[in-house]
Chains A and B, each alone.
Chain A
Amino acid sequence: MPIDATFPPALVMLAGALLLPLLPRNSRSFFSLFVPLLALGLVWMAPSGVHLTLELMDYPLVVYKVDRLSRFFGTIFALITMIGSLFAFHVKKAAKQTAALLYAAGALGVTFAGDLITLFVFWELMSLPSTYLIWARGGRESEKAGMRYLMFHLFGGGLLFAGILVHTGETGRILIEQLTARDSLSSWLILAGVAVNAAVVPLHAWLPDAYPKATVTGAVFLSALTTKTAVYVLLRIFPGWEVLIYLGVLMALYGVVFAFLANDIREILAYHIISQVGYMVAGAGIGTEMAVNGASAHAFSHILYKALLFMGAGAVLHTTGKSKLTELGGLAQKQPLILWLYMIGAFSISGFPLFNGFISKSMVVAAAGEAHHSVVMFLLLLASVGTFLSVGLKLPCGAWYGENRGLSPLPPPRNMYLGMAAAAFFCILHGVAPGLLYGMLPYSVHFAPYTFSHVVETSQILIFTFAAFWVIRKQLAGEAGITLDVDWFYRRPARWVQKIFLEDLEAAFTKVETLSMDLVGKLSLLSKNPMLIFTKSGGKYFSPDTYRPGIRTLLLLVLFTFVLISFWGLLGHLFAVIK
């Protein structure tokens, strides 16, 4: 198949990932930039329609199908992979670079899948490379968190696959379509499987558990790809499912509250992924054209500013080796550029006018208002207050201002600045010129973000959030420790499970083994030494020396008798001959 405008970008990523380890060390970083660029070009050039089909048994697989929604998500996935690779340009480990490309190949494959089997295959392709990006950090914490992450995603994949099987069994169809049957098991199984990857509360605990323990550069890819492919699938298959509205609002607020309690800066950001994805899930639940547009636009903006924030936090970790608020502080003078680039991301996620969060988040909020979900609208606005509080105020105050702990950060590699600057550029570009983003959206946009009342409303909220923060800022320092989340339910009982199923079971086996060996030992005494039955003495254990003199005498006697008889026979023979 020649590479033309209809060549699947996911296969380009996949081929790139497989080719990369074979290249010379110095050209790999360039190659990891070039591959997503090529994929991005293909995404843009591809006309709408079905471009690649395969036959699997009797099912027609649609491997590459393009429409406005998938092109929109494909664009941002390819773009962020390129920006992430730029940020990771200094990384020379082939395994890390390959993992990132494989992971992106999975995300693009899901985005352009036209049937459920293809979707599932690429869905699963994402889980292992993403786990590797956590493991690659090294250390016991990352190893264990990565394993929990992998287990959780295999569980989610299992739910998804079960749902697909039931769905295909019930309807005989495997093409991706909107599911509307609210009473069918298959829909709920698929929804649950997707919800795991979207980090829908209460299936979210893998995210704040694993992301803070990933590598500095790996976390950038993680923050961008897994949850947003799940959002894409929700928009594609489940628009208008009311339950998603409430789950989305729950996520938005849950993330905010837990982020406030977190001490690790990347954990704060991880909880804010849940919170921001909550807006998108709610948008999918509302399901109107404006809501789907809003959720898509917010996914696009979110990927950019969240990657930027993770790059900023990652740069701090990379240069100081620290990531906890209680260990950071006083870096503002030493890292002004990282601080400012981070703040562009923080302004964006908080929805400041002129930044991309403003033009996308407000679309979801307005869609909620327009669909007469006023309570939902206010709760989403409240979540944005909490977002500014944690990401825009508490985190930078703790990490860059606050108590000077005498840290002397190393200078970060230049490419880190470039990666951050690229993300920051798009955050501002879309904030200033929203038409560039709106023009790519799946439906035509009838929404103007920059109205007088909207700017006033947002300014009031943000300024007075700052005022409240300033009043009680003294009590907001980070506190050492961890926050319990629903991962308690599988981490804490792990100890008991280990005790019951491993330690106690092993103890029981050992006990049974000792008992049976004892019994066998006792039984064997009977056959070991038959003399015991007659003598009742001779000790418990067999010693050959005890019997040696007796047997020796007996044998000598036998031998002597034999010799005597032989001698006797020989003499008789001799006499017979002599006669």
Chain B
Amino acid sequence: MSKLRWALLAIATVGSLWGGFATPHHPAHDAWWNRIPVFFALFGFFGCIGIIFLAKSLGKLFLRKGEDYYDAD
């Protein structure tokens, strides 16, 4: 990626994290996840790794087969 895009991404990252802290909260009727400012950042990061891990292990376990699996013999 070009330097410009990295810079824009960095700005967006800082902005979104700052936004997490800046969002006004109402501890009384806010759900627990809304009280953690970086909750959705963690959700995105670990959710992504979790999906990759799950898909890859299922694939290794039994889902992935060769191109001619259905055509063999």
Residues of A participating in the B interface, judged by any CB pair closer than 8 Å: 256-258, 260-261, 374, 378, 381-382, 385-386, 389, 452-453, 455-469, 472, 476, 479-484, 491-492, 495
- Expressed in whole angstroms, the minimum distance between the Cβ of A397 and any Cβ of chain B is 11
Q: Known contacts A463-B41, A482-B69: does B31 contact A374 (CB below 8 Å)?
A: yes
List A contacts of B66 (CB < 8 A).
481-482
- Expressed in whole angstroms, the minimum distance between the Cβ of B67 and any Cβ of chain A is 6
Q: Known contacts A459-B16, A491-B70: does B51 contact A484 (CB below 8 Å)?
A: no
Q: Find out whether the CB atom of B52 lies under 8 angstroms from the CB atom of A260.
A: yes
The 8 sampled A-B contact pairs (Cβ below 8 Å) are A256-B51, A460-B38, A463-B12, A463-B13, A464-B40, A464-B48, A465-B47, A482-B66
Q: Find out whether the CB atom of A481 lies under 8 angstroms from the CB atom of B67.
A: yes
Main DSSP-derived SS at the B contact region: helix
Q: Known contacts A381-B43, A480-B67, A482-B66: does B51 contact A460 (CB below 8 Å)?
A: no
List B contacts of A472 (CB < 8 A).
49, 52
List B contacts of A467 (CB < 8 A).
44-45
Q: Find out whether the CB atom of B59 lies under 8 angstroms from the CB atom of A389.
A: no
Which chain A residue has the least Cβ–Cβ distance from B10?
A463
List A contacts of B48 (CB < 8 A).
385-386, 389, 464-465, 468-469
List A contacts of B69 (CB < 8 A).
481-482, 484
Q: Find out whether the CB atom of A460 lies under 8 angstroms from the CB atom of B63.
A: no
Encode contact with A along B29-73: 1 for CB under 8 Å, 0 otherwise: 001001000111111111111111011101100111111011001
Q: Find out whether the CB atom of A463 lies under 8 angstroms from the CB atom of B44.
A: yes
Q: Find out whether the CB atom of A484 lies under 8 angstroms from the CB atom of B55.
A: no
Q: Find out whether the CB atom of A385 lies under 8 angstroms from the CB atom of B64.
A: no
Q: In the docked arrangement, what's the CA distance between A462 and B13, Å? A: 10
Which chain A residue has the least Cβ–Cβ distance from B73?
A495
Q: In the docked arrangement, what's the CA distance between A492 and B71, Å? A: 10
List A contacts of B67 (CB < 8 A).
480-482
Q: Find out whether the CB atom of B45 lies under 8 angstroms from the CB atom of A468.
A: yes
Which chain B residue has the least Cβ–Cβ distance from A495?
B73
List A contacts of B58 (CB < 8 A).
257, 261
Residues of B in contact (CB 8 Å), total: 41
List B contacts of A495 (CB < 8 A).
73
List A contacts of B19 (CB < 8 A).
452-453, 455-456, 459-460
Apart from A463-B12, A463-B41, A479-B59, 5 more pairs, CB < 8 Å: A460-B40, A460-B41, A461-B44, A467-B44, A480-B67
Q: Find out whether the CB atom of A484 lies under 8 angstroms from the CB atom of B62.
A: yes
- Expressed in whole angstroms, the minimum distance between the Cβ of A362 and any Cβ of chain B is 13
List B contacts of A457 (CB < 8 A).
40
Among candidates B16, B38, B63, residue contacting A261 with C-beta atoms closer than 8 Å: B63
Q: Find out whether the CB atom of B55 lies under 8 angstroms from the CB atom of A261.
A: yes
List B contacts of A382 (CB < 8 A).
43, 47, 50-51
List A contacts of B42 (CB < 8 A).
464
- Expressed in whole angstroms, the minimum distance between the Cβ of A355 and any Cβ of chain B is 15
Q: Find out whether the CB atom of B70 lies under 8 angstroms from the CB atom of A492.
A: yes
Q: In the docked arrangement, what's the CA distance between A482 and B49, Å? A: 22
Q: Find out whether the CB atom of B65 lies under 8 angstroms from the CB atom of A484.
A: yes
Best-buried of B43, B44, B55 by chain A (most CB within 10 Å): B44
Q: In the docked arrangement, what's the CA distance between A495 and B16, Å? A: 55
Q: In the docked arrangement, what's the CA distance between A482 and B52, Å? A: 17
Best-buried of B9, B40, B65 by chain A (most CB within 10 Å): B40
The 9 A-B pairs with the shortest beta carbon distances in the complex, nearest first, are A456-B19, A464-B44, A468-B48, A459-B16, A461-B44, A460-B40, A260-B55, A464-B45, A460-B41
- Expressed in whole angstroms, the minimum distance between the Cβ of A274 and any Cβ of chain B is 14
Q: In the docked arrangement, what's the CA distance between A459 and B19, Å? A: 10
Q: In the docked arrangement, what's the CA distance between A464 and B15, Å? A: 13
Q: Find out whether the CB atom of A483 lies under 8 angstroms from the CB atom of B64.
A: yes
Best-buried of A261, A476, A480 by chain B (most CB within 10 Å): A261
